[in-house]
A and B are shown apart, each in its own frame.
Chain A
Amino acid sequence: MRLIQQIGEWLDARVQLAASLRETAEHPVPRETASWFYVFGSAALVVFVMQILTGMLLAVIYVPSAGEAWNSLQTLNHSIALGWYIRALHGWGSNFMVAIVLIHMVQVFLFGAFKYPRELTWIVGIFLLLMTLGMAFSGQVLRFDQDAFWGLGIGASICSRIPIVGPWMVTLLLGGPIIAGSTLSRFFAVHVFVIPGMLIAFVGLHLLMVLKLGINEWPMPGRIVRKATYIKEYHELTHKDGIPFVPGAVWKDLFFGGCVLLTLAIVAAYFGPYGPSGRPDPTIIQTAPRPDYFFLWLYALLSLLPPEMETPALLIGPVIAILFLLLLPFIFGEGEKTWRRRPIAVLTILLVAVVFGTLTDLGGHVPWSPVMDAWSSDPIPPQFLQNRSALERQGALVFQLKQCHNCHSLGNEGGKRGPALDKVALLLTQDQLIRQVIQGGGNMPAYGKNLSPAETTALVAFLKTLHPTNQPPARDASRSVATEPAVNSPTGTNP
C-alpha cells in the first residue's frame, strides 16, 4: 500500500491534478438529484466507452475493403476465439447507445434541464445525438452485407434529391460513381476516425458544462426559472442543502451503469452478432434490403408518404426538426421546469413516441411490400376453390400465374400491398372488376396488355365468387332493367 501511495504522490507532484479532481468529484449537487432519473447520461458514457473498446478490438481483424470486408466478418464470427462475442457486444452496444441517448434526451426535456443557463449543454447534446445516429448508420455500412450495400443505394437516392447539387452529393457520399471499395473506405474513415473524434470532443464539452453549470435541480412546481435570479438560487440550493457528488450521487450512476453493461453482456451472449447477411454482390438481386431498427421508421415513412410529398419531407423535415431542437432552449428558456406543469411538453413526447413506435412497428411488418414469392409459394386456400366451376378454377390459376397474389391476400395469405380480395365481389360488379383488371388505377398496374380475353374472363369469373355464401355479389341494378323482359319494368304489379 505504501508503494502505491508513493507512486501516487510521485505522479501528482508532476501532473498536479489530484486536488482539482477531488474538488470536481466532491462538488456539491442538489440533494434530490441523487435520483434514479439522473443516471442515463452516465450510462450513455459507459456504453460509449464500451463501444470504443470493442470497436478497437474489431478493427484488429476487420478489413475495410469491399472485396474482403464480408469475409473478415465471417472470420470474426467463426475462426477467431470469441470474435462473434466482440461483434455482438459492438452491434448490441450500438442499439443500447441509441436507446439510452434517446431516454436521456427525453428525461432532460421533461425535467426542463435544457432551460437557462444550460442551453449550450442541450445544443451540444443534440449534436451528440446526431453523431450517435451517424455512427449507427455508418456502422451498419461497415457490416458490408446485402442490407448495407442496398442501404447505401437508398442513402444515395435520398441524397440525389437535393436540388442542384444532388448528383455531386451522391458521388461524394459514395466516393466514386458506384457503391464499391471507395465507398466502404470512406465510411470506415468516418466511422472510425471522424465521428468518434468529434464525439469524444463533444462529450468532453458536454461534461465540462455539466460540471461548470451544475446538475439540473429536481424540478418542483412553482420553482420558476428566471435569468435574473436562477444562478443565485441554484448556488443557495447546492450550498445550503447540497451533497457532494462523490459519494452522494455517484453510487446510483455506478449501479445503473453496471446493470446496463451486465444486460449488454447477457443480451450479446444470448442473441449473438448481427449477420452479416448475404454477400454484398450487386448481381444477386433476390434481396429485400431492410435497415437496422433505428432507421425502420424512416423506411416506413418513405413508403407511406404520398410520392410528391417525399422529397420535401426528406429534405425539409429534418432541417426543421433539428432547427427546432436547437432553438428550443432559447424559445422556452425560462418558466416552469416540471413536467407536471408542462402538459404540451408531455403530449409532444407521447405523440412523438407513438408516431415513431408505430412507424417502426410497420417497418418490421412491411405491409406495403409485395410478397415476391406469394404467387409460387402461397397457395389459394381451399375454401376459395371448393364447388367452383372449371372456368372459375381456371381464373384462380390466372390469379396465381399473373402474380396477383403478390399484392392481394386471400384468406390472409399473400401480399398486403393491395386490398384483400376475400370479399371483393361484394364491392365491385363484374364490369367494374373487368375495368379494374384491364385498366388498373388506384395504385394498381393495368393488366390489359398481359391478359388475353379468355384469361380476363376466367379471372373475373373467379373474382366474382369471392363473397360470403349468404351475401349476394354486387350487381349493376341498371343492367337488369336494360336486359330483362318488360314484365319486370316499373309498370309491373307490386304486391
Chain B
Amino acid sequence: MTLPDNLSRRAMFVKLGILFNGIIAALLAIPIVRYVLSPVTRSRGYEAWLPLGALDQFPAGQTRLGTFRNPDVQPWDGKTAYSDCWVRRIDDHTFQVFAINCMHLGCPVRWFPQSGLFMCPCHGGVYYQDGARASGPPERGLFEYPYKIEEGKLFIKAGQLPTPVSPSIPSAFVDISGKLPCA
C-alpha cells in the first residue's frame, strides 16, 4: 500500500481519530434516538377497554358526562390521568360515546340539552346531538369511541388523545362538501 506524498503519519492519525470518534458517535446515536422516539416506537398500543360505570348512570334519551382513567399513566400524573367523554344513551343497548375534544383544535365541548347541541367555547364549533358537525370551523363531527356493554357496565376503548385526524367510527364522519360555512 502506498501513501500519498502529502499525507503525513500524524495527519493520518488525526483522520483515523476523527473516524473512530464518528463511529462511536454513530453507535451511541442508536440508543439515544431509540430513547427519544420511544413514545412512538412502542409496539403495544396505548388503548384499552376502560369502564365508564354502571349502565343506570346513563338514562336513555340523555347525554351525560363520563369520566375514565387512562390506561397508560404515571403515578405523578395527578388529575391529568383522567379524561372526560360525553355519553349519549339512545336506547337500552345503543350508545354513542364522544370525545370531549372539539375536532377543530381540541378544546372541551359542552352539551346543551335544551337545544340538543354541543358547543365549543374556543372558536365556536357546534355539533348536533349525534356528534355530526353543525357549524363553525371544525371539518368533521366529534370523535366517537368504540363501546361495549359487559355485566351491566359500559366500556369504551380509549387511551389516546383524539385529534382531528384520529379515525373515528364511520357514523361520526360527516360530508361537509357543498355546505362550507361562510364565516
Interchain CB contact under 8 A, B107 and A445: no
Is B60 engaged at the interface, CB distance under 8 Å to the other chain?
no
CB distance from B134 to the nearest CB of A (A): 4
- Contacting residues, chain A, for B79 (C-beta < 8 A): 66-67, 279-283
List B residues 59-96 near A (Cβ within 8 Å). 65, 67, 70, 72-74, 76-84
- Stretch in B1-9, B24-32, B159-167 touching the partner: B159-167
CB distance from B166 to the nearest CB of A (A): 8
Interchain CB contact under 8 A, B80 and A368: no
Q: How far is the CA of A280 from the CA of B76 in the complex (A)?
A: 13
- Stretch in B12-20, B49-57, B120-128, B147-155 touching the partner: B120-128
Choose from A182, A287, A305, A403 the contact partner of B39 (Cβ within 8 Å): A182
Smallest CB-CB separation from A445: which chain B residue? B134
Is A149 engaged at the interface, CB distance under 8 Å to the other chain?
yes
Interchain CB contact under 8 A, B112 and A403: yes
Tell me if B's interface is mostly helix, strand, loop or mixed. loop
Interchain CB contact under 8 A, B105 and A181: no
List A residues 413-437 near B (Cβ within 8 Å). 417
CB distance from B90 to the nearest CB of A (A): 13
List A residues 211-249 near B (Cβ within 8 Å). none
- Nearest first, the 4 A-B pairs at minimum CB distance are A67-B78, A153-B106, A160-B163, A445-B134
Choose from A157, A181, A306 the contact partner of B74 (Cβ within 8 Å): A181
- Contacting residues, chain A, for B159 (C-beta < 8 A): 177-178
- Contacting residues, chain B, for A65 (C-beta < 8 A): 76, 78
CB distance from B63 to the nearest CB of A (A): 13
CB contacts between A and B, total, < 8 Å: 212
With contacts A167-B163, A368-B124 known, is A283 near B76, CB below 8 A?
A: no
With contacts A66-B78, A303-B123, A442-B182 known, is A157 near B160, CB below 8 A?
A: no
Q: How far is the CA of A148 from the CA of B127 in the complex (A)?
A: 25
Is A450 engaged at the interface, CB distance under 8 Å to the other chain?
yes
Smallest CB-CB separation from A372: which chain B residue? B121
- Contacting residues, chain A, for B109 (C-beta < 8 A): 285
Interchain CB contact under 8 A, A282 and B180: no
- Contacting residues, chain B, for A484 (C-beta < 8 A): none
Interchain CB contact under 8 A, A403 and B70: no
CB distance from A26 to the nearest CB of B (A): 38
- Contacting residues, chain A, for B114 (C-beta < 8 A): 375, 401-403, 450
Is B43 engaged at the interface, CB distance under 8 Å to the other chain?
no
Kindly supply a per-residue 1/0 record for chain B positions 116-148, scoring 1 wherever the CB is within 8 Å of any chain A CB and 0 otherwise: 110111111010110000111111000000000
Tell me if A's interface is mostly helix, strand, loop or mixed. loop
With contacts A156-B106, A156-B163, A177-B161 known, is A443 near B121, CB below 8 A?
A: no
Is A174 engaged at the interface, CB distance under 8 Å to the other chain?
yes
- Contacting residues, chain B, for A161 (C-beta < 8 A): 164-165
CB distance from A263 to the nearest CB of B (A): 33
Kindly supply a per-residue 1/0 record for chain A positions 360-397, scoring 1 wherever the CB is within 8 Å of any chain B CB and 0 otherwise: 00000000111010010000000000000000000000
Interchain CB contact under 8 A, B164 and A67: no
List A residues 66-83 near B (Cβ within 8 Å). 66-68
Q: Which A positions have Cβ atoms within 8 angstroms of B?
A: 65-68, 149-150, 153-154, 156-161, 166-168, 170-172, 174-182, 279-283, 285-289, 299, 302-308, 310, 368-370, 372, 375, 401-404, 406-407, 417, 440-447, 449-450
- Contacting residues, chain B, for A150 (C-beta < 8 A): 106-108
Q: How far is the CA of A310 from the CA of B140 in the complex (A)?
A: 13
7 contacts between A and B (CB under 8 A): A66-B76, A178-B83, A179-B161, A180-B80, A180-B81, A287-B121, A446-B128
Interchain CB contact under 8 A, B164 and A160: yes
Smallest CB-CB separation from B106: which chain A residue? A153
Interchain CB contact under 8 A, B40 and A406: no
Is B46 engaged at the interface, CB distance under 8 Å to the other chain?
yes
Interchain CB contact under 8 A, B123 and A369: yes
Interchain CB contact under 8 A, B181 and A307: yes
- Contacting residues, chain B, for A285 (C-beta < 8 A): 65, 84, 100, 108-110
